[in-house]
Chains A and B, each alone.
Chain A
């Protein structure tokens, strides 16, 4: 009840741009943010306006040119001071002004929301091509070195000696008795998200339709949510210096499109849809096939479901269980030797 918002009478009403259940004190924070951002992007906009005749390699200033800027960390965010629609984060993240929740997520069920967006990863179909990783990077302008989705390689079993095997090493014959599976990973948009609950300034929230989002204009970048996520799904955006994560491509979903990773999946291993609709593909898949979630033991109630996974996932090198053998994303700063 305390989170429901009456739809604004007039869409041009400026107050309706921020339909948080927050006090209007946040507007002060937005103004402060705007001033800081304006200063930060002033040089950029000047460069843009004066340099329209530059070659197509122009990146909008030397600080965004990887050949000139040693600490280049990816393309800049959309220019928030330009009135192209991207400056209105509240409109982008929550155009229908859905009620949002920062805690006590059990209240969401009580409101009987219209949609409940979930994703199903059908591991029988994933070929590990990483198209989703690339599509996500492209769609969401994800900077270098961080990921909103990625695909890890898991396997079960091992290479065993077999006189009839097809692998010959030093005169010995072996056979690969291995099940390999590619496991796409993404923010689970948990129904009880610990990352949202620990945010000290309510910068991150769960929308009524289940999507967990970060407001980049409010986040103070303390990193608590990143440490609180059991799935490593959040990262510190090196460009905006705020916490960032998968949004289920909220701007596409709100327009009736599928998330970029789902659109680009060559094997249709990723299925996105409304779990509240019994006729949706996700509902039918979940009804027909056994499925698990990642790390159910944390009690976060993940809303990304995996078909074809045993549920016994580990990173330990144990051939008797499904375990991670390789990740494309985590080896550069870890003690694991590149194999």
Chain B
């Protein structure tokens, strides 16, 4: 049987494949969902208060996994400790990213503690069995639920949210910089990368929160508990951020796609890849088309308030943002640096950098989110059920009738 060396031949490869596509995608969802969760605290949008707990769980699940994608893409992932033991800061973009990510994880963990503290104390004192022990651990020994401590919690959460918003911008804006800093890739070396990434991160985060709200609150607790005002508000917010995102997309299009405004290399690359090239549909159909369709859907109040339509809007916006990540990460690498034509690339189904790994990473997000839903007191009716049983009676272990 002849050796299949075709994936090896050639100087030019897409070295950063689908895993590096989902890396900014995941971290964008983190940054966006965190910002949505902080709306009530930092910007005084009290309407979104019920989203805070769902938001912090979604953020934590995606955040823990966000660093897994580039790690899975690295060929020597077992050496990850070097990122801490010999970081190349502030010179290497990826080196600083590690530190920002670590700070962010710590911040979200602290926020998780404070946001669930009172409920954990309640369960630690009222629930029975393993839940009593587990929620006791989560309180870290705290049993004080007085007004003063609750006020302190609120202050701490506001400060954390404000710092978190700064970190969200740093975290995701910085990912734009990881690409923008590589001057060898004509389509990456662009100061627009940071604002483009951060704004589309907020777009995707709001869309994710719509889906999470409808899916978690509506799906697990009950459709009737969905607050139409929150859906309406989130979708309206989505509309405004899409305006900004589209504006930046148009600026990018004008700066890359018009020969009079840009260098020949950027123009050549943009045209051969996105205008008649391999990613034409990905760019015009999915990245721009879905975004515009989503924006149009947000114009109608009835659609905004319908859980089904709001979810649909969110879904196509998420598709658009994924396409944006794909176009940016893969698209720029299709343009060869030292040879001719375009580099051929197709996402493999199985293997290290493949659809399989990408699905697995989203699977880990799903598992982490499910575990949090089961192990954290995020819903008041569930807390009551966990503490007293479904019939509202105090549940005592092994009490004979």
Contacts and interface: CB of A to CB of B under 8 A. Distances in A.
Interface stretch (A124-132, A233-241, A278-286): A233-241
Contact of B340 (A202, A203, A334): A334
Contacts of A199: 88, 92
How would you classify the secondary structure of chain A's contact residues: helix, strand, loop or mixed? loop
Interface stretch (A88-96, A141-149, A263-271): A141-149
Contacts of B9: 145, 332-333
A194 B7 contact: no
Given A150-B11, A330-B12, A222 B184 contact: no
Contacts, number: 194
| Interface-central residue, A26, A226, A236, by most chain B CB under 10 Å | A226
B86 A202 contact: yes
B340 A324 contact: yes
A185 B185 CA distance: 19
A222 B70 contact: yes
B344 interface: yes
Contacts of B42: none
B81 A145 contact: no
A160 interface: no
How would you classify the secondary structure of chain B's contact residues: helix, strand, loop or mixed? loop
B392 interface: no
A222 to B, nearest CB: 5
A26 B85 CA distance: 7
A222 B340 contact: no
B204 to A, nearest CB: 24
A2 to B, nearest CB: 15
Contacts of A222: 70, 73-75, 94
Contact of B87 (A103, A200, A335): A200
B336 A334 contact: yes
Interface in A66-100: 66, 70, 72-73
Interface in B73-120: 73-83, 85-88, 91-95, 97-98
Nearest to B75: A221
Contacts of B94: 198, 200, 222, 224
Contacts of A36: 78
Nearest to B277: A335
Nearest to A67: B3
A152 B339 CA distance: 9
| Interface-central residue, A194, A219, A232, by most chain B CB under 10 Å | A232
Interface stretch (A27-35, A53-61, A302-310): A27-35
A194 B184 CA distance: 9
13 contacts: A25-B86, A33-B79, A102-B91, A220-B80, A223-B15, A223-B16, A227-B184, A232-B339, A298-B184, A329-B10, A330-B10, A330-B12, A336-B340
